[in-house]
Chains A and B, each alone.
Chain A
Amino acid sequence: MYKYDVYDQQIVNERVAQYRDQVQRRLSGELTEDEFRPLRLQNGLYMQIHAYMLRIAVPYGLLSSKQMRMFAHIARKYDRGYGHFTTRQNIQFNWIKLEETPDILADLASVEMHGIQTSGNCIRNITSDEFAGVAPDEIVDPRPYAEILRQWSTFHPEFAYLPRKFKIAISGAAEDRAAIAVHDIGLSAIRNAQGEIGFRVLVGGGTARTPIIGSEICDFVPWQHMLTYIESIMRVYNQYGRRDNMYKSRIKILVKALGIEEFRRQVEADWADIKGGPGTLTVEEVKRVAEYFAPPGYEVSAEKDPALDLFKEQNKAFADWMQRNVRPHKMPGYAAVLLSLKKTGVAPGDVTADQMDRIADMADRYSFGELRATHKQNLVLADVKQSDLVSLWKEASAHGLATPNIGLLTDMICCPGADFCTLAFARSIPLAKMISDRFDRADFLHDIGEIELNMSGCVNACGHNHVGHIGIIGVDKKDGGEWYQVSIGGAQGNQAAIGKILGPSFNFQQMPEVIDRILQVYLRERLEEEPFIDTVRRIGVEPFKEWVYATPIEADDSVDKTNYGFMEKPDHYTVQRKSRL
């Protein structure tokens, strides 16, 4: 993976010093909260219901065992012993004290990490494919370009105060695993007929209030021009994106208002002046960065272990895990392994400090000391020898990280929701827990098979609900209660689509029955081997709608409400929302 040189390290160290001074000025009253807010946000510090939340950038989801151990240290020293991996491949800590944040950032800088641009109206952390560099269907390894984009976007002076946040995703494989169609800019690294590398560029995709699939602005931008082309997109957006209404300020609204043709014309007019200029990438720079992502020292002779098949036959749990959590690798004898952070009863994406240490150990022992975070809130050991799979499985199981549910109903994407977030209308973590509890039967889950259930506590859609096969979103109702709207038919990847809303919303306790009814329709209607999403595409939303609303849904009184109450609130934090420092 990429390692800082003296310049990278100096820039991050200077950032820590700058931020330390800003916190000092805030604490002394020299800066008002309004003035301080964008400064802390651009370092990843949010104010939530109970405390500050610090979001740390995991560039394109890639991290080392050393960095993971630092997360464990932060969880123990500054938080409550756990962290939360997010839907943007980052990690966040939920119980942070403002006064301690400069020290946390200094600790992070010592392992080449930071919270830069993980929030605020700027270019956010670049996200990518969690199987980059190892996927058999890869065309171009996107990681060097993701790193080049990271550096280019870090403290870009012109684009630090955009109309709204800006998210770039990059993928380089036949199958898009980075959800590029629902990003402000989605880049797909490809090769043209001559074998030259370039990018298909999508712009103006997104979810939230206006879910929309990105439009193709260019079918092939040669790699040399990647930075200047994106600079021109940013400049047009910075000048003309709406600033009068935060709900209409994302680039997708501008692209929609102008139309993709006119937007493209403006971008190309701007680009004409800078194309081929000094911002053009050089062969040397791409080569320099790409060297950091050279394949690790694979054992060429690594063979498939015959004992593996035998063990699989004898052990159903291991076989399930192999089927769900182990993915093919471009190197013979190797595999990519997903550590599930979706054990029933645990908030999706949460990891304890002890688990972090064990995960770091496993990365050192089995995967060249590296890890990846996925946008579906799991972790990947990308370079595991197949002959190590049994021992890795045993270790992962012992630490609660081997739930064989990747891609199944209980592998939900879930935002923090109203338990933590001031924006949310409804809770998502307890709902995820309630749904997991209701359907936590291995045979049933495996029978249902591939299905993506994505959940957000509000319209901001951090849980990617619009592109979930089943999407759940907390909605604002005047009664102040918790209501959820359900959509089906959304998808990420090559056939990205926005889900269609089923109908009127449901309350918290009705939700498990709603999911049950949706699954009943699927089981009734599916053709042999047909995954849920294909059934929805074939028969449409109507049959689901009919069945879900066919009879009134009683709140399930067998549910023990105390199990799903608000998460424990400690005494020393009070809910003061905007009035707190």
Chain B
Amino acid sequence: MIIKDKAVVSDDWTILRLQENETPESASVPAGKVIVPLRMWQAQRSRLQDRSGLGVWLASNERPEDLKGDLDRFDVIAVDFPRFADGRGYSIAYNLRARLGYTGELRAIGDVLRDQLFYMQRVGFDAFAPRPDKNIYDALKGLTDFSETYQTSFDQKLPLFRRVKRDGAAGPANG
């Protein structure tokens, strides 16, 4: 189960994480819908590119620009949060969406917790795989903690000061 488009849905993707004895060149990709590590996509591109049902995931120290030109080959791109305190994934998502123009499913994986979901959806994630030991319905609540935001990000193209007429020192704004 994952959260996608603000709802809990079933999920048939497998996230492939290389084991210690595997290399991006040699590891094999099982049948079915698989999200492979970026390094594996780079190493086995010719073998993988015609496959249907392919996704790729980025580690927090990897660069989204490495996928430039290939974005429409994937049904899903995932970004891994090795620890929830590692905030690089937020900039990776923002760059994927805002700079590289990726429009498909963007999924947060790894140490994904309820209290980070609001920020994650703002920078462009539309799918979340909360840590398996957490209640996914509970995590869903994290998406609605706030009903307003000040600054622009991927989800909100205009900052608050361009979106609404705000009160000034003279009192409530008109209209």
A interface with B by C-beta (< 8 Å):
3, 5-7, 10-11, 14-15, 18, 22, 35, 38-39, 121, 151-152, 154-163, 227, 235, 238-239, 243, 273, 277-279, 281-282, 284-285, 288, 291-292, 294
- Nearest-neighbour CB distance to chain A for B66, whole angstroms, equals 14
Assess the A156–B161 pair: CB atoms within 8 A.
no
Contact partner of A7 (CB less than 8 A), chosen from B88, B99, B118, B166, is B166
Assess the A235–B91 pair: CB atoms within 8 A.
yes
Given A161-B84, A273-B99: A238 touches B90 (CB 8 Å cut-off): yes
B164 interface residue per 8 A CB criterion: yes
Please name all residues of chain B whose beta carbon is closer than 8 Å to the beta carbon of A277 when the two chains form the complex. 152
Assess the A238–B87 pair: CB atoms within 8 A.
yes
B33 interface residue per 8 A CB criterion: no
Please name all residues of chain A whose beta carbon is closer than 8 Å to the beta carbon of B167 when the two chains form the complex. 5-6
Pick from A39, A157, A281 the residue with the most CB of B within 10 Å: A157
B175 interface residue per 8 A CB criterion: no
Please name all residues of chain A whose beta carbon is closer than 8 Å to the beta carbon of B87 when the two chains form the complex. 121, 158-163, 238
Q: How far is the CA of A151 from the CA of B173 in the complex (A)?
A: 19
Assess the A7–B123 pair: CB atoms within 8 A.
no
Assess the A157–B119 pair: CB atoms within 8 A.
yes
Please give me the 6 A-B residue pairs with the lowest Cβ-Cβ distance, nearest first: A161-B87, A157-B122, A5-B167, A157-B119, A291-B169, A285-B161
- Nearest-neighbour CB distance to chain A for B131, whole angstroms, equals 10
Contact partner of B123 (CB less than 8 A), chosen from A22, A38, A158, A278, is A158
Closest to B60 in A: A243
Q: How far is the CA of A156 from the CA of B151 in the complex (A)?
A: 7
B19 interface residue per 8 A CB criterion: no
B85 interface residue per 8 A CB criterion: yes
Closest to A154 in B: B150
Contact partner of B113 (CB less than 8 A), chosen from A5, A35, A151, A157, is A35
B159 interface residue per 8 A CB criterion: yes
Assess the A152–B151 pair: CB atoms within 8 A.
yes
B147 interface residue per 8 A CB criterion: yes
Would you list which residues of chain B between 107 and 146 have a CB under 8 Å from chain A?
113, 115-116, 118-120, 122-123, 145-146
B170 interface residue per 8 A CB criterion: yes
Closest to B82 in A: A243
Assess the B148–A7 pair: CB atoms within 8 A.
yes
Contact partner of B115 (CB less than 8 A), chosen from A10, A39, A121, is A39
B149 interface residue per 8 A CB criterion: yes
- For this complex, 7 residue pairs linking A to B, each with C-beta atoms less than 8 Å apart, are A18-B146, A35-B115, A152-B150, A154-B150, A157-B119, A157-B122, A281-B161
Given A11-B148, A155-B146, A157-B123: A278 touches B153 (CB 8 Å cut-off): no
Closest to B157 in A: A278
B25 interface residue per 8 A CB criterion: no
Assess the B85–A278 pair: CB atoms within 8 A.
no
Q: How far is the CA of A11 from the CA of B150 in the complex (A)?
A: 9
Q: How far is the CA of A549 from the CA of B85 in the complex (A)?
A: 46
Closest to A121 in B: B85
B162 interface residue per 8 A CB criterion: yes
Q: How far is the CA of A303 from the CA of B151 in the complex (A)?
A: 45
Assess the A291–B168 pair: CB atoms within 8 A.
yes
Given A279-B151, A291-B168: A157 touches B118 (CB 8 Å cut-off): yes
B86 interface residue per 8 A CB criterion: yes
Q: How far is the CA of A158 from the CA of B122 in the complex (A)?
A: 8
Contact partner of A158 (CB less than 8 A), chosen from B94, B150, B166, B170, is B94
- Nearest-neighbour CB distance to chain A for B82, whole angstroms, equals 10
Please name all residues of chain A whose beta carbon is closer than 8 Å to the beta carbon of B152 when the two chains form the complex. 277-279
B7 interface residue per 8 A CB criterion: no
- Nearest-neighbour CB distance to chain A for B67, whole angstroms, equals 16
Q: How far is the CA of A266 from the CA of B150 in the complex (A)?
A: 26
Given A22-B115, A151-B150: A279 touches B159 (CB 8 Å cut-off): yes
Contact partner of B166 (CB less than 8 A), chosen from A5, A38, A121, A227, is A5
B1 interface residue per 8 A CB criterion: no
Contact partner of B162 (CB less than 8 A), chosen from A6, A282, A291, is A282
Please name all residues of chain A whose beta carbon is closer than 8 Å to the beta carbon of B94 when the two chains form the complex. 158, 235
Given A14-B146, A157-B122: A7 touches B91 (CB 8 Å cut-off): no
Assess the A38–B151 pair: CB atoms within 8 A.
no
Contact partner of B164 (CB less than 8 A), chosen from A7, A159, A243, is A7
Pick from A7, A14, A154, A159 the residue with the most CB of B within 10 Å: A7
Closest to A286 in B: B161
Contact partner of A239 (CB less than 8 A), chosen from B88, B119, B160, B162, is B88
Assess the A10–B148 pair: CB atoms within 8 A.
yes
Please name all residues of chain B whose beta carbon is closer than 8 Å to the beta carbon of A18 when the two chains form the complex. 115, 145-146
Please name all residues of chain A whose beta carbon is closer than 8 Å to the beta carbon of B43 when the two chains form the complex. none
Given A7-B166, A157-B123, A239-B88: A14 touches B150 (CB 8 Å cut-off): no
- Nearest-neighbour CB distance to chain B for A232, whole angstroms, equals 11
Please name all residues of chain A whose beta carbon is closer than 8 Å to the beta carbon of B85 when the two chains form the complex. 38, 121, 161
Please name all residues of chain A whose beta carbon is closer than 8 Å to the beta carbon of B123 when the two chains form the complex. 157-158
Assess the B91–A238 pair: CB atoms within 8 A.
yes
Assess the A3–B169 pair: CB atoms within 8 A.
yes
Assess the A14–B145 pair: CB atoms within 8 A.
yes
Assess the A7–B86 pair: CB atoms within 8 A.
no
- Nearest-neighbour CB distance to chain A for B109, whole angstroms, equals 16
Please name all residues of chain A whose beta carbon is closer than 8 Å to the beta carbon of B119 when the two chains form the complex. 155, 157-158, 160
Q: How far is the CA of A439 from the CA of B25 in the complex (A)?
A: 72
Contact partner of A278 (CB less than 8 A), chosen from B147, B148, B162, B164, is B162
Please name all residues of chain A whose beta carbon is closer than 8 Å to the beta carbon of B161 when the two chains form the complex. 281-282, 284-285, 288
Please name all residues of chain B whose beta carbon is closer than 8 Å to the beta carbon of A15 when the two chains form the complex. 146
Please name all residues of chain A whose beta carbon is closer than 8 Å to the beta carbon of B113 when the two chains form the complex. 35
Please name all residues of chain B whose beta carbon is closer than 8 Å to the beta carbon of A162 when the two chains form the complex. 87
Would you list which residues of chain B between 52 and 71 have a CB under 8 Å from chain A?
none
Please name all residues of chain B whose beta carbon is closer than 8 Å to the beta carbon of A294 when the two chains form the complex. 169
Pick from B91, B116, B146 the residue with the most CB of A within 10 Å: B91
Q: How far is the CA of A158 from the CA of B169 in the complex (A)?
A: 30
Assess the A10–B147 pair: CB atoms within 8 A.
yes
B29 interface residue per 8 A CB criterion: no
Q: How far is the CA of A316 from the CA of B115 in the complex (A)?
A: 59
Please name all residues of chain B whose beta carbon is closer than 8 Å to the beta carbon of A38 when the two chains form the complex. 84-85
B18 interface residue per 8 A CB criterion: no
Closest to B151 in A: A152
Assess the A243–B148 pair: CB atoms within 8 A.
no
Assess the B166–A288 pair: CB atoms within 8 A.
yes
Assess the B149–A155 pair: CB atoms within 8 A.
yes
Closest to B121 in A: A157
Please name all residues of chain B whose beta carbon is closer than 8 Å to the beta carbon of A281 when the two chains form the complex. 161
Would you list which residues of chain B between 77 and 97 have a CB under 8 Å from chain A?
84-88, 90-92, 94
Closest to A10 in B: B148
Q: How far is the CA of A291 from the CA of B152 in the complex (A)?
A: 23
B158 interface residue per 8 A CB criterion: yes
